[in-house]
Amino acid sequence: MLGLKVNMKYLVNFQVEINSENNKKDKVRSTFTVLDADIKKIPENDFDMIKDWFINYFNENDLDKFIDVSKINKEYTVNIKIGRITNAINGQYKTF
């Protein structure tokens, strides 16, 4: 295997609220790792831009990329709330 260097840059802690058709709300907390290569045009520690990038990325992908959806078998809507973004290299962070 070639020595590919992948830098884990940011950890995004977030909560997903899943609203099912019977008005039941489930909240799932999770963490997503953002790699340097994913956000190469975002300036270092611009947490607001990283938040915007992540929300767009979240909305463009299937929910199962972020949480376990195996127990969801109905129609649902999803709301996302970012709790904290942490720079995994230097420890700087911002809470939302």
Provide the 10 A C-beta neighbour count for residue 94: 15
What amino acid occupies position 62?
D
Is the pTM above the cut of 0.85?
A: no
CA angle 70, 73, 75 (to 5 degrees): 130
| pLDDT tens, position by position, 58-96 | 999 999 899 988 877 677 888 999 999 999 989 999 999
* Alpha-carbon gap, residue 89 to 44, rounded angstroms: 11
Which residue shows structure tokens 């975002």? Answer: 42
Secondary structure of residue 95 in the 3-state scheme: strand
Domain ranges within the chain, ordered by starting residue: 8-95
What average pLDDT does the structure give for the chain? 87
pLDDT recorded at residue 2: 52
Secondary structure of residue 9 in the 3-state scheme: strand
